[in-house]
Amino acid sequence: MALKQNNLHVYNTLSRSKEIFKPIAPPFVGMYVCGPTVYGDAHIGHAKSYVSFDVIVRYLRHLGYNVRYVQNITDVGHLTDDADQGEDKVEKKARAEQVHPMQIAEKFTRSYFEDMDRLNVRRPDISPRASGHIIEQIELVKRLIAAGHAYEIDGNVYFDVASWPKYGRLSGRSVDQMQAGARVEVNAEKRHPADFALWKRIEPGHIMRWQSPWSLGYPGWHLECSAMSMKYLGESFDIHGGGIENQFPHHEDEIAQAEAATGKSFVKYWLHNNMVTVGGQKMGKSLGNFITLQDAFKKWDPMVLRLFILQSHYRSPLDFSDEALGAAKEGLARILGLSERVIRTLMQWPGGLSYPIPRPSDDRPFVVDARRRFSEAMDDDFNTPLALAAIFDLVREANRSIETQTLSMDFLHSIYYALFDLCEEILGLCAETSAAASQYVPALVQIFIDLRNEARAAKNFAQADTIRKRLDEIGIVLEDTPEGTKWRFK
Ligand SMILES: [Zn+2]
């Protein structure tokens, strides 16, 4: 697909300004986003982060870029203290539940993807696990030691920040400031308080362990992202995303590890999304205002949550409240209501609904205007609130036209595609969520079971067999038991 004309600008944390987006080797775009540490249920903070980056990827693809989207799974090495101290989060949870750490990692990796599926977040192209890339991480540490940027003491390996003058560039901190601001240093092994662990020797009882040239141990948390992003995207790539809270030390350390090893510029554009607050307060497990996605979904349709997230800019904080969610629910109903109305009107039109629905030959001025405003908003650092404002104006104008003007098929097709292209393909808002499917499938299957029973009671066995056979063909198996007919997926 040819690249569409665009004027995309993105806010780059590295330069603290909006820059024109020019990938290193267009139309290819390499994009890496820090993924979840899989030791607990995903929460609304994860939803904001991964919905935002999902829309960024969708928009880049809409523009014609060939995006390779990599998002890691952290299953080892992330300690309870984001710096180098404390216990491995996955191991800690495994100990509490008396299971193997990999069971915890697997369980929460699956539930993470299930939650994201419900939010209609498309899965990344590659989801590399840290524990599956130990060799690559050890190789990177070897390169850093050989280049004089890392040192080993007693089985632990640290990055030597004093050897890397650019350290602090992303977060705007200098190594001297870090020295002055450092609390009493508990780790006497480090040459400088800001030095960070690349490899850690295991303590007794530590289960996740690998042999290395330095000790039986495990990698430092920051290392995986440098190693895995460069493995799949090359030593220099276009976009690195993540939460604003990971600018320091995580992303700063990623840059240092990569650039000190390769001598090349690591990432061209750094994109950071902001966090979720609840009633104006930071969300946290310890504060008791922590909202998991599974809890949120009990109350709110995942698509309502998705629209709510997109109604604020990804770089702005998002305050979660029932009132705001209620407003998003109404907004979603307006968009989906128009979509249904267009389909219903087409169905009533003789020969009106045919698949695929034809693209219109042209759009009315208000549709052209909405599409232009949407593109301008998205080109301005993915400004989804402004893009949505254009959509809501389109919805209002389209409803008015349907009520007051002579309609044409072309016009209805034009509205259909404006909603499809902008809302569904780019913003990922659609009625058919897996939640909706999981709600309707059992009810629909039950209707067929009832019809089959009626056919059997009327001794119309051919009809009953046809129903069973047709369901079987689409993967739904009926089983007659003493308690009645049960069904399951094949
Ligand atoms: Zn990362």
For 129-144, write each residue's pLDDT tens digit: 999 999 999 999 999 9
pLDDT recorded at residue 80: 84
CA of 126 to the centre of ligand 1 (A): 14
pLDDT recorded at residue 433: 47
pLDDT tens, residue by residue, 408-461: 889 999 999 999 999 999 999 987 544 445 556 777 888 999 999 999 999 999
Provide the residues around ligand 1 (an ion) whose CB is within 5 A.
34, 225
CA of 252 to the centre of ligand 1 (A): 10
pLDDT tens, residue by residue, 36-59: 999 999 999 999 999 999 999 999
CA of 35 to the centre of ligand 1 (A): 7
CA of 147 to the centre of ligand 1 (A): 23
CA of 82 to the centre of ligand 1 (A): 12
CA of 250 to the centre of ligand 1 (A): 6
CA of 236 to the centre of ligand 1 (A): 16
pLDDT tens, residue by residue, 232-255: 999 999 999 999 999 999 999 999
Say if residue 198's pLDDT is above 90: yes
CA of 221 to the centre of ligand 1 (A): 8
CA of 219 to the centre of ligand 1 (A): 13
CA of 315 to the centre of ligand 1 (A): 18
CA of 244 to the centre of ligand 1 (A): 12
CA of 79 to the centre of ligand 1 (A): 13
Confidence of residue 182 (pLDDT cuts 50, 70, 90): low
CA of 225 to the centre of ligand 1 (A): 5
CA of 56 to the centre of ligand 1 (A): 18
CA of 469 to the centre of ligand 1 (A): 50
CA of 478 to the centre of ligand 1 (A): 47
Q: 3-class secondary structure for the chain?
A: CCCCCCCCEEEECCCCEEEECCCCECCEEEEEECCCECCCCCEHHHHHHHHHHHHHHHHHHHCCCEEEEEECEECCCCECCCCCCCCEHHHHHHHHHCCCHHHHHHHHHHHHHHHHHHCCCCCCCECCEHHHCHHHHHHHHHHHHHCCCEEEECCEEEECHHHCCCCCCCCCCCHHHHHHHCCCCCCCCCCCCCCEEEEEECCCCCCCCEECCCCEEEECHHHHHHHHHHHHHCCCEEEEEEEHHHHHHHHHHHHHHHHHHHCCCCEEEEEEECCEEECCEECCHHHCCCCEHHHHHHHCCHHHHHHHHHCCCCCCCEEECHHHHHHHHHHHHHHHHHHHHHHHHHHHCCCCCCCCCCCCCCCCHHHHHHHHHHHHHHHECCCHHHHHHHHHHHHHHHHHHHHHCCCCHHHHHHHHHHHHHHHHHHCCCCCCCHHHHHHHHHHHHHHHHHHHHHHHHCCCHHHHHHHHHHHHHCCEEEEEECCEEEEEEC
CA of 342 to the centre of ligand 1 (A): 44
CA of 460 to the centre of ligand 1 (A): 62
CA of 72 to the centre of ligand 1 (A): 8
User: Is the model's pTM score more than 0.95?
Assistant: no
CA of 247 to the centre of ligand 1 (A): 10
CA of 253 to the centre of ligand 1 (A): 9
CA of 457 to the centre of ligand 1 (A): 62
Confidence of residue 97 (pLDDT cuts 50, 70, 90): very high
